[in-house]
A and B are shown apart, each in its own frame.
Chain A
Amino acid sequence: MVETGHFALVLAFALSLVQMLLPLVGARSGNRRLMAVGGPVAVTGFALTALSFAALAGAYAGSDFSVANVWENSHSLQPMIYKITGTWGNHEGSMLLWVLILTFFGALVAVFGSNLPETLKANVLAVQGTIGAAFFLFILTTSNPFIRLNPAPIEGRDLNPVLQDLGLAIHPPLLYLGYVGFSICFSFSVAALIEGRIDASWARWVRPWTLVAWMFLTGGIAMGSYWAYYELGWGGFWFWDPVENASFMPWLAGTALLHSAIVMEKRSALKIWTLLLAILTFSLSLLGTFLVRSGVLTSVHAFATDPARGVFILCILTLFIGGSLALFALRASRLTAGGLFHPISREGALVLNNLFLTTATATVLVGTLYPLVLEATTGGKISVGAPFFDLTFGPLMLPLLAIVPFGPLLAWKRGDILAASQRLMAAFALAIAAMLVAGLFIDGGSVFAALGVGLAVWLVAGALTDLAVKSGVGSVTPAVMLRRFAGLPRSVFGTALAHLGLGLTLLGIVGTLSFGTEKILTMRAGETVDLSGHTLRFEGLFPRKGPNFTEDRGRFLLISNGNADGEITSAKRFYPARQTVTTESGIRTLGLSQLYLSLGDEGKDGSVVVRLWWKPLVTLIWGGGLVMMGGAAMSLLDRRLRVGAPARRRKPAAAAASASPT
């Protein structure tokens, strides 16, 4: 079975070569049979990759230590769930997951792309095939998960304990769905450049992919952030770690792409820019893969430091980014410009959004790469952390967030900023009120806190205002209003939800940073501690044996209003296979807020260092992410995105009639 998987992988590589060449040649020479090869090959390639992945997962599930990759990253005593998730908890396996998702998306284009123009589909599949071929080759030559050991060792070396966690089991697949989803946008852009023309419906095909990729990337980042929050035991949710930035940059660029694609789709404007943005977004995804996988950054993500891999990925990076940008430089002038618009208009607002987002992406890029460049050139070692990003990324985001509610309320082509402002009066008043309350009446309030809370409320209220205005609140009868509300396009709900989610995330961040409290102390069994109105009694340390670890559990009794209100446990775990200690934090969710505690070292006298946090509204950080994902899903359901195929039932005459000015 293992060797079948290995063979399927090699076969998938061979097919990706075919997919890379035949449709492209077909599209160039107008040979429809050659173009037709793309679809079936893409689907077969996906099936083979899936078979290969299943074989590896099977080897993990069965603890087949004759596979070197399994031996290095698994252990027979691990719970089954972590045996399986261990498949992608390592470099080789995660790269296999990467191509699995890549071929999956390629197969989707092949299956659902029947309404695409033939040459465009062929070119898109060819570009997908090229990316696939490069990564298959990378896996087979430098990161082959199917290397065998003979004789097989009898016990594995265990998965890195910090990765033995459900959150981290879903984080990489989500993230990769996002990263790799942008490859479709990239392929569409490069295909358009190869053809030298952009179909009017181009944006309609690209936008759903952008939405899907963005949705998963949002989920992946939120999941990763939550994982770091509870698993690393420091209570932080974002560290501006280069690896986090690597996923954040495509997200920022993807958000910009999402918005510029709207303009392109509705107004056929910003074509060239959107194309460039699609290329850049996937380039940043590749850069993220390079940073994480090459071992340039030593962190928990860099499973191994192997220069061959780094050089190979760098070559892939140069090939795709350089190649696509060169093609862009050559062909972009052949693309025609689109409709005109006034600076103050929906289009103008979306351009402003793009300006801010791409600039913000650039600052994150500089902050992430500068230390690497400095070290490579001068050997100097610096670290760029939160203070840098607070000073650069922060000031860029604040004005952007402030103008978000205006965007959806502005009309296309020429908007009326005054009218929009009037409609937002209520939201504005609400935001000011929230600001005052936060600044004056809540402990720990500061200028930053007041501003942040005000901004968050402004975003949430603005998003709701958008829905209210569009369903005609205040100007029509409730019955009409309800009907209008129900009849609003799904994309309007999508926009409102996404902006609302953004506001919630901001509220969570501000709440946690400004109003959170923290205590570090040593405790003995029986002692109690108060934190922001909650009382905790330390019950003591209790040893326990897990499947592949032993742990000392610190049990804490939460006392609310004098009554026991459940237990919170935090543990120090020891994994003998890797001789590693991890801290399992104890978290109790109370409403939207959380009590978070983590165990430190044990003193000689039986006391233990305990660190406690009260994190108000912290769950909103990730809850907002979920709402944003919901917004993207809502937009995906919009009927507009299904348009683009020539409808044979209608006669061209009808179209001509409607085309004449009415």
Chain B
Amino acid sequence: MLFWVIAAILTLGASLAVLLPLAGGTKGSSAAGDHDLEVYRDQLTELDRDMARGLIQPAEAEEARAEIGRRILRLGSASQTGAAAPRPSRAARLVATAAVLAVPLVSWGLYGELGSPDLPSQPLAERLAKSPADSSVDELVARAEAHLAANPSDGKGWDVLAPVYLRLQRYTDAVTAYRNAIRLDGDSAVRQAGLGEAIANAAGGIVSAEAQDAFEAALKLDPANAKANFYLAMGLAQEGKKAEAAAAWQKMLGQLPPDSPWRSAVQQALAETTGPAVAAGTPANGPDAQALEAAQQMSPQDRQAMIETMVAGLDDRLKQNPRDEEGWMRLIRSYVVLGKADQARDALGRAVAVFGADSEQAKKFTAFAASLGVTATE
């Protein structure tokens, strides 16, 4: 509301700036000739000064004086001819009215198109000072970040923030936060497992050696840590050791309490690994925990659709940014897992083309694909 009042006042002021001179009388003013005369007179006195200082020779000064004199004479004759005082015409009044109207019309019209009048200013300090209940997750995170920037050695703060990052899919930040928490507050199975999960997700779902280390560290502290066990098995599955993965998951099923949230995840994974034909072992693009959970609650058809969407997304990304070695390998494997051998072969072909047939990467791709049972056709 305040904004509209200000806008109205501004518009009024601007309109007045146009209106007042139009309505007001005009004072008498000098003709251009008077200005010129003043200048010529000054030129003459300056000529004298210059001559006194030797900047111009007397003969030339005489000439210059004559030149200026002639100009003054010309001025006199000109000013007598062009002194017609025109009256305000109707056209002029029309133009003036249009101008006065144009100011509010143009400004309100254009602002209506461009502006966001309902959006208040949101200075950061004000947003952070709001009560936590009204804040969005982003704002809470920002507040925590500001706190940690000031007190970087607050291990508890990092510990709280890390899983939040994980949920927000800010995996690299999650990795840093977990590392800081471990450095400051010491090892714990939960933190190590979280770190592993963050590393794996940052790498797009691949349980890398680094992630494995973290999970193993977690198991050392708590052999029954479900997350670590689950992901380690997933790593096995990703390496193609499906039997071992299945065994690990089977073992988990035996140990997990009946109400554990992991139970269903393990069962799903198990079903997919050992299941017939269309088994989706690894979600291609490493969905975060939420997406995983969602996938686990879906019907098999929906899950398949979701996985295929993710694979298509990966494929698209590689088209935009083809120099992504791991991405290509993930894509090839995903197609194999989905049972789309043609597309896997196609992906292999494209990957090789990007890096060049003789490149080291190409050899790696070919070998990798061969291990999955895919061979280049050409």
The reply to whether A and B meet directly (CB within 8 Å) is: yes
Residues of A within 8 A of B (CB): 1-4, 6-8, 10-11, 13-15, 17-18, 21-22, 25-26, 29-34, 36-37, 39-41, 43-44, 48, 51, 59, 62-66, 76-77, 115-120, 140, 144, 146, 148, 150-155, 197, 199-201, 204, 266-268, 339-340, 346, 411-414, 470, 640, 643-647, 652, 655-656, 658-662
Report Cα–Cα, A656/B115, bound state, in Å.
61
Report Cα–Cα, A29/B99, bound state, in Å.
16
Chain A's closest residue to B125 (CB) is A62
Chain A's closest residue to B68 (CB) is A659
The reply to whether A655 and B46 contact each other, CB–CB distance below 8 Å, is no
The reply to whether B92 and A4 contact each other, CB–CB distance below 8 Å, is no
Chain A's closest residue to B73 (CB) is A659
5 nearest CB pairs, A to B: A62-B123, A646-B34, A30-B86, A63-B124, A413-B60
Q: With a CB–CB cut-off of 8 A, which chain A residues contact B136?
A: 151
Instruction: Judge whether B1 is part of the interface by a CB distance below 8 angstroms.
Output: no
The reply to whether A21 and B99 contact each other, CB–CB distance below 8 Å, is yes
Report Cα–Cα, A346/B61, bound state, in Å.
13
Q: List 27 A-B contacts (CB under 8 A).
A: A3-B3, A6-B114, A10-B106, A17-B102, A17-B106, A26-B92, A29-B92, A30-B84, A31-B92, A33-B96, A34-B95, A37-B99, A40-B21, A44-B17, A48-B10, A63-B124, A63-B125, A65-B122, A65-B124, A115-B35, A117-B31, A151-B136, A340-B63, A411-B56, A643-B42, A645-B35, A659-B41
The reply to whether B115 and A25 contact each other, CB–CB distance below 8 Å, is no
Q: A33-B22, A41-B17, A62-B121 are in contact. List 10 more A-B contacts (CB 8 A).
A: A29-B86, A40-B17, A64-B122, A116-B35, A117-B30, A140-B110, A152-B122, A201-B38, A658-B41, A661-B69
Instruction: Judge whether B277 is part of the interface by a CB distance below 8 angstroms.
Output: no
The reply to whether A34 and B57 contact each other, CB–CB distance below 8 Å, is no
Report Cα–Cα, A36/B35, bound state, in Å.
19
Minimal beta-carbon separation of B80 from chain A (angstroms): 14
The reply to whether A37 and B21 contact each other, CB–CB distance below 8 Å, is yes
Cβ contact of A150, chosen from B88, B119, B125, cutoff 8 A = B119
Cβ contact of A13, chosen from B3, B92, B110, cutoff 8 A = B110
Q: With a CB–CB cut-off of 8 A, which chain A residues contact B20?
A: 40
Report Cα–Cα, A396/B33, bound state, in Å.
42
- Taking CB atoms and an 8 Å cut-off, the chain B residues in 64-104 that contact chain A are 64-69, 71-72, 84-86, 88-89, 91-92, 95-96, 99, 102-104
Give the interface SS of chain A, mostly helix, strand, loop or mixed: helix
Which of B17, B53, B64, B102 is packed against the most chain A CB atoms within 10 Å? B17
Instruction: Judge whether B55 is part of the interface by a CB distance below 8 angstroms.
Output: yes
Instruction: Judge whether B257 is part of the interface by a CB distance below 8 angstroms.
Output: no
- Taking CB atoms and an 8 Å cut-off, the chain B residues in 166-205 that contact chain A are none
The reply to whether B17 and A43 contact each other, CB–CB distance below 8 Å, is yes
Report Cα–Cα, A150/B54, bound state, in Å.
73
The reply to whether B39 and A4 contact each other, CB–CB distance below 8 Å, is no
Cβ contact of B123, chosen from A64, A339, A645, cutoff 8 A = A64
The reply to whether A18 and B102 contact each other, CB–CB distance below 8 Å, is yes
> Of B138-146, B327-335, B351-359, which stretch is located at the interface?
B138-146
The reply to whether B38 and A414 contact each other, CB–CB distance below 8 Å, is no
Minimal beta-carbon separation of B113 from chain A (angstroms): 9
Report Cα–Cα, A115/B136, bound state, in Å.
60
Report Cα–Cα, A40/B63, bound state, in Å.
44
Q: Given contacts A4-B3, A15-B14, A29-B86, are A199 and B41 in contact (CB under 8 A)? A: no
Digitize B1-22: 1 where CB-to-A-CB distance is under 8 Å, 0 elsewhere.
0010011001101100110111
Instruction: Judge whether B254 is part of the interface by a CB distance below 8 angstroms.
Output: no
The reply to whether A659 and B40 contact each other, CB–CB distance below 8 Å, is yes
Which of B57, B117, B122, B145 is packed against the most chain A CB atoms within 10 Å? B122
Instruction: Judge whether B43 is part of the interface by a CB distance below 8 angstroms.
Output: yes
Chain B's closest residue to A471 (CB) is B53
Report Cα–Cα, A115/B30, bound state, in Å.
9
Report Cα–Cα, A462/B241, bound state, in Å.
89
The reply to whether A200 and B44 contact each other, CB–CB distance below 8 Å, is no
Q: Given contacts A1-B121, A7-B7, A154-B138, are A266 and B38 in contact (CB under 8 A)? A: no
